[in-house]
Amino acid sequence: MKVLVVGGGGREHALVWKIAQSPLVEKVYCAPGNPGIGTIAENVPLTVEDLPGLLAFAKEKGVGLTVVGPELPLSLGIVDLFEEHGMTIFGARRNAAIIEASKAFAKDLMKKYDVPTAAYEVFTEVEPAIAFIDRVGIPIVIKADGLAAGKGVIIAQSRDEAVAAVTDMLSGNAFGAAGSRVVIEEFLVGEEASFLAFTDGKTIIPLASAQDHKAVFDGDQGPNTGGMGAYSPAPVVTPDIHEKAMTEVMRRTVDGMAAEGRPYRGVLYAGLMIDGDRVKTLEFNARFGDPECQPLLMRMKSDIVPVLLAVAKGDLSGVSIDWHDKAAVCVVMAAGGYPGDYRKGDEIKGLGDAAAIDDLYVFHAGTAETDGKTVTAGGRVLGVTALGVTVKEAIDRAYRGVGAISWDGMHFRKDIGAKALKR
């Protein structure tokens, strides 16, 4: 079978790496891909939003399965288009991908179907939003309604910061059209975890637990990013918490989406806040998390392709997933200045030295090839991901890989996985 993966980041590199291992697969294409992906698949010069181009390519090459990585093509309706043309594709249809494309929709859905979440209100005008901020108090969470590449959430620690965030978003200065509506919600205390599951709209199969590190600096300081690292398993997700996440969050959400006439097929990602034995839902994503995808797929023992096909064909019954007992840790190496302005074009050295480390893989995210050299081409550049018998061993191995790689101005957190060690 030929497989097309849509996207060009670290998540897609991990998907290509895992899919290419399947005995069912003879060839993998990736659009647009990146230099790391190009070592194990054929990169295709098509953008993720070029839906007609992607469809024409898949038909021309006789692609048997298309796997969608990022949220943008899902929200544009790539799955609907491919299915209308009789193509097998993994991902949520447009009317289901709204669970990520509109935070207001997701919050209203959670309220309607009793999925535990923070108290909230939705605003399109500044004055009522500020009145709500004054009523609820600080700290408070302000979210752009639409897609903002994982960066549309501001946790305001002062009234001035909250007012500035709301004003910036609603004026169109921050996040453009994505910020034309804002969701403002109470600040939740606890520890975050990422809970992902495959679903065909009825059956739900959870992936292993994981934890992302959103803030750019150590100790969860600084602005939110697309994710600075992740590890799996996450000890904060105890068997009891896992059961609550499945029954109170995933089951109610999948059933609620079906009741709304928006059957959800694909991978559903819930960002959870765990406080003692209580679970609340921060947000939903309609795709694999990045960087959670990297450690999760390194821990997945099963062939992923039968799972993706079963979801795409709408029947997950009888499917199961085996996991390695080992832990996995991904450390994201970013360009200096990220998530703000950052430089591109710096030569990356030491990739070969890192690749020589056993049980370690360097997933490319924002890289390019120039004059035969690999250079930086994005904010998040690499995801150095390692396995270990324990989380501590996986952390040490991942940072050994990070230590082998260098470029001017690189930045990474030094505390990925530290919360797991404390438990």
pLDDT, mean of residues 343-354: 97
Question: Tell me, what amino acid is at 186?
Answer: E
Tell me the C-alpha distance between 363 and 12, whole Å: 9
Confidence of residue 151 (pLDDT cuts 50, 70, 90): low
How many helices (H) and strands (E) are present in the chain, helices listed first?
A: 15, 22
Candidate from 96-100, 220-224, 373-377 with smallest mean pLDDT: 220-224
Work out the angle between the directed axes of helices 252-259 and 94-101 (0-180°, nearest 10): 130
Output the pLDDT for position 144: 87
Confirm if 254 and 264 have CB atoms less than 8 A apart. yes
Strands (E), 317-423: 327-334, 360-364, 367-370, 373-376, 380-388
Q: What are the Cα distances from residue 267, in Å, to 54, 205, 233, 258, 336?
A: 21, 9, 18, 15, 32
Confidence of residue 145 (pLDDT cuts 50, 70, 90): confident
Confidence of residue 178 (pLDDT cuts 50, 70, 90): low
Q: Which domains does the chain have, with CATH numbers?
A: 2-93 (3.40.50.20), 119-186 (3.30.1490.20), 191-312 (3.30.470.20), 327-422 (3.90.600.10)
Question: Tell me, what amino acid is at 287?
Answer: R
Output the pLDDT for position 168: 87
Strand order in the sheet with 191-199: 204-206, 191-199, 266-275, 278-285
Task: Check whether 172 has a pLDDT greater than 80.
Answer: no
pLDDT, mean of residues 216-221: 95
Confidence of residue 181 (pLDDT cuts 50, 70, 90): confident
pLDDT, mean of residues 402-411: 97
pLDDT, mean of residues 336-358: 96
User: Is-above-0.75 flag for pTM?
Assistant: yes
Q: How do residues 252-306 score in pLDDT, each as one tens digit?
A: 999 999 999 999 999 999 999 999 999 999 999 999 999 999 999 999 999 999 9
Tell me the C-alpha distance between 367 and 356, whole Å: 20
Question: Which residues lie across from 7 on neighbouring strands?
Answer: 32
Percent of the chain with pLDDT over 90: 90
Confirm if 292 and 230 have CB atoms less than 8 A apart. yes
